[in-house]
A and B are shown apart, each in its own frame.
Chain A
Amino acid sequence: MKDHRSSRRRLVTGLSTAGLLTALPFTPLTAAKTYTPLKPPKKPSATLKAAPLPAQTFAGMVLNRLGYGITPGFMDENFFQGLGSNDANRLSQFVNQQLAGGNDVEVNQRINQAGTYETLNKTLNQLWVDYHIDINDQTSSSRPIYEHMRLKFLRSTYSLFPLRERIAEFWHDHFNIYGYDYYARSVWSSWDRDVIRTHMLGNFKDFLIATARHPAMLYYLDNHNNFDGDSNENYGREMIELHTLGVENYYGLAQPGDVPKIFVDESGGAWPGDGMIQKFYVDNDVYETARCLTGWRVNDSSSLGDTGEFYYDNGRHDNFAKAVLSGGYQNFPANKGEDDGLKVMEMLAYHPGTGKHIAGKLARAFISDNPPQQVIDDVAAVFHDNRAAANQLELVFKALFNHAAFSDPQYWQSKVKRPFDVVVSAMRACDADFTIQPDDGDSNSFGYRMDDTGHFPYDWRPPDGYPTDSAFWMNSTALVQTWKTVDWLIDHDSSGNTPDPLLPILPYVIQHFQNLPQTQLLPDNILSFWMSRIFDQTPTGGWTGDPVFESIMTFFLSRPSDLAYPQWPRSNFIEKDQLFENKWPYYWGTRLRGAVKLMIASPYFMQR
């Protein structure tokens, strides 16, 4: 019998959790490990929430919101307690450690072991040549996006730095591109690596410019087709409306001169000399921004070398003067060429409205659908004050996660997990040993089911990205298909010579109970064992009587379909071979798997 406590970690042989993580910047542990149970969260003001996990631990809260939940024996209460002397200290240390990143050992080992990830390390030009230009049949290959749609599961399930995965997910949604878009699909490895991950903790203006110069974005929002005299405003509009100021700062079709102004402490570039700029944008700013971006295109013609890289085409650029956010005054003089685009992005990135827009999105993604205004204002201030700093976004995230509103129990478990989050956190909580990878039958089967949830990574077509709003995901399709995906994971054995359950539900029970007296195999003990494993905490006095637990118990003790057999009495123990070998007529193994599916479908698991 394999030791399932270490099965998932067998890839990282020789390295303990502490060993992996102490390689990172780390303050010395304090000896104190006193653990005081928290008071139950206050009743939420919003009415969206179903019954929350009672007395959720601080560690559980942090790992569910800043990671993809608990990973038993690895990233759990014990691990978190070791990070510092009090919750605030531990949270701060966790954030520092996660943002710093490092060698993601298990992810890298699984990628190598899979051997089917071939596009990850190619440069933009290599990707373009290998997958976009295809002399033979003139169709581009989607191999890179195909690999990344699977890699996102692998990384999120096995990363030592799940917070970095969540942050990458946030920015992929923010600068959303439909993965199968014509150019994007062939160069996705570069978009993910060179743009999103390179800049996700860096400077926002640099980030914005990097998105604007990437072929995936240039094609997706049509700027490759934005010419002098025939300007295509699609990208200009979305850059303002989605990527920077946000539609909350839209003043409609008013004339620029009618928009209220604010003072900004900026100079040079396109900033008006008196420092007065429009507080909001109007349609004219969209047109003028689009003009600033004319000529920004992809080197995608053979006469230019067809490198797939960014190409500024001065012959396509509108070189007349322009006015953006200036009340109509032409703050972009004529004949500045490529600099128009760089300057307009500086104005947008440094505008105070952009900080507010992004701070609001962050608070709604990481704290609550209705976060307090104070955290938005405070994070927006950090965003704006550090607008020129190389580590601006790192500072922004630290301000957000260490903010009092983040730790305020009234906002705990107030968001519904999105389908991707449910599935990945179930794989972590159940200690999955399943490398989702290209060209693999099990991964294909998994993919078909995941696709039905409506939340496959990089599969959102419009440019606004997958919603984070809980209400969007509270519909029968998303809920049922997500649970069906988890069902499949729990019921499925790996293909190959030595089939093992992808999620070892029964093996953990066998391991726990096999050396205990058979009389310990009581229904309450069996289900309590898995409840405590999945939720990484046990209520004072045990699970018996907890309403979710009792609903699952009723299921567990259902009368067999063979009516010759009675309903199992709760006070009777179950014989080992009946359970361990899933024997007729009670099929305890099947019931156990059903019970764990219910734990995952429960409001305790579905909310973060």
Chain B
Amino acid sequence: MSSMNRRKFLQSSALLAGLSGVKISRANGLRSSSQPIVIDLFMRGGLDGLNLVPPYSGNNWIEYDILRPDLQVPKTGSNKMLDLGEAFGFHPAATGFRDMYLDGDLAIIHGTGLPKPLVTRSHFDATKATELGTPGNTFTADGWLTRHLQSSPQITGAEVIPVLVSSGSKPLSLQDYFNALTVDQVSGYHPNPGSYEDQHVAAISGMYAGTSAMDQAVNGAMDTLQILHQLDLNNYQPGGGVIYPDNSFGDQLQLIAQLIKEDLNVNVATAELGGWDTHDRQGDGGVGTFADRVGYLSNAVTALWQDLKGSGLGQQVTIVIHSEFGRRAKQNGGSNSGTDHGSGNVMIVIGGRVNGGQMYGQFVGLEQSELFQGEDVSPEVDYRQVLGTIVKEVLGNPHLDQVFPGYSGHQSMNFVSSDLIFANGFDT
């Protein structure tokens, strides 16, 4: 059904472009859609949440100091932990996150993870469990975002591009969804360009006229390139005077902002960032491999948020950052060492509807008896409770039983401002 709408869009916009002789700037003209949008940023490899949001004071800091003598984020010096006025601070490379937190746009949720009996320290199992949204069952056919799109009453079928993947390949959270706009760059994105390019695309569509997944994927690809071709994406001016970092993650996030602003009725956008599997040479004193990665992440996400917020889209957009698991509380060696796979972790949620500047979740502690199995930050909060709060209260989809089958007894995390909760008559 959504491809029918793309067809309609393509026809009408082609007509417009033909008449006016210029590329259209907004697909739906001047009418701005108010559709809520979630941007799911998955951190591949197991982000070390304990060093992204380390303890700042109290007994937790004392234990942290013992567990990570060679890897800790220091409390003093030029690379000291960023003070949030809380019992936890931010890694010194996460200045953008700190600013968003202090602006009240960013919420930290500590102690999240897979439900304890289903914890796995395998990247591949934990990634599947998280992204398929069915912990304990890694053979689920579809992903949690696929099921959200299928069950959400906010998706009417009139959307041009409900799903945008700013990456070379689609995440498991969209498994079994074959009509996503998947793109990692826009320049030169066309097969056989030249005099016969439109006929070429028409012929490809003609050869894939069936209903199989491959037919859908090819037609999605043909729609993608035609839409990109018709939109004016080359002269992008980010909102709020933002300059995106000149790197591939910055490019990916900028593309998300660009396409959201084209008003294609995006409901879900995804991107991912790897490089978090820090078994070795994680870095010490607030510098090194991990610090570089945190800066890379924080700077790009901050640019994305400031761009969208500066363009008046802050109330529409919610960004969630998470990973398949956290890492072990104790470092795995001396200097130049790292951390092995663990479980409990931090999640970060950013948005205009998010009651930020606060910490949520449950951090049990870092003493041996408080660690999960004596090893990890305890995963007290089922990650589905965090995503469920977003799905229900921000995206306005009450059908958590369908998005997360087998998940019951959901309670709001209360990080969505009550006066901003989706007021469509769903229970709140």
Contacts and interface: CB of A to CB of B under 8 A. Distances in A.
Interface of A: 47-51, 222, 225, 227, 230-234, 237, 241-242, 247, 250, 252-253, 283, 286, 416, 452, 454, 461-462, 464, 470-480, 483-484, 487, 547-548, 550-552, 554-555, 558, 561, 587, 590-591, 594, 597-598, 601-603, 606-607
B220 A476 contact: yes
B125 interface: yes
Contacts of B191: 480, 483-484, 487, 597, 601
A241 B277 CA distance: 16
Given A225-B279, A476-B182, A554-B202, 20 more contacts: A232-B337, A234-B340, A237-B122, A247-B122, A250-B122, A253-B120, A286-B121, A475-B180, A475-B182, A475-B221, A476-B217, A477-B167, A477-B182, A480-B224, A551-B204, A561-B195, A594-B192, A597-B200, A601-B204, A607-B214
Given A225-B333, A555-B200, A480 B190 contact: yes
The secondary-structure label for the interface of chain B is: loop
Contacts of B340: 232-234
18 contacts: A222-B338, A232-B337, A233-B340, A247-B124, A250-B122, A252-B119, A416-B214, A452-B185, A475-B169, A475-B170, A475-B220, A479-B221, A480-B224, A547-B206, A552-B203, A555-B196, A601-B204, A607-B214
Interface residues of B, number: 67
Interface of B: 44-45, 118-125, 138, 165, 167-170, 175-176, 178, 180-185, 188-192, 194-196, 199-200, 202-204, 206-215, 217-218, 220-221, 224-225, 274, 277, 279-280, 332-334, 336-338, 340-341, 373
A242 B124 CA distance: 9
A548 B190 CA distance: 20
Contacts of A476: 181-183, 217, 220-221, 224-225
A479 B138 CA distance: 27
A515 to B, nearest CB: 29
A461 to B, nearest CB: 6
Contacts of A471: 175-176, 178, 213
B341 A252 contact: no
B142 to A, nearest CB: 11
A472 B169 contact: yes
Nearest to A597: B192
Given A51-B210, A474-B217, A475-B182, A234 B204 contact: no
A601 B192 CA distance: 11
A472 B143 CA distance: 13
B341 A237 contact: yes
Contact of A603 (B181, B202, B208): B208
The secondary-structure label for the interface of chain A is: helix
B124 A232 contact: no
A518 to B, nearest CB: 24
Given A234-B279, A476-B183, A480-B189, A594 B200 contact: yes
A551 B333 contact: no
Contacts of B192: 483, 487, 594, 597
A590 B195 contact: yes
Contacts of B125: 247, 250
A479 B217 contact: yes
Contacts of A222: 279-280, 338
Contact of A480 (B120, B122, B169, B221): B221
Given A230-B337, A554-B203, A561-B195, A283 B214 contact: no
A234 B280 contact: yes
Contacts of A452: 185
B338 A237 contact: no
A450 B175 CA distance: 25
A340 B373 CA distance: 27
Contacts of A594: 192, 196, 200
Given A452-B185, A587-B195, A50 B208 contact: yes
A555 B192 CA distance: 12
Contacts of A50: 207-208, 210, 212, 214-215, 218
Contacts of B181: 476
A479 B214 CA distance: 10
A548 B207 contact: yes
**Which of B45, B121, B220 is packed against the most chain A CB atoms within 10 Å?**
B121
B214 A232 contact: no
A574 to B, nearest CB: 16
Nearest to A241: B122
B165 A227 contact: no
A60 B92 CA distance: 59
Contacts of A550: 206
A250 B210 contact: no
A480 B226 CA distance: 12
Contact of B184 (A232, A477, A554, A597): A477
A247 B280 CA distance: 23
A454 B168 contact: yes
B183 A477 contact: yes
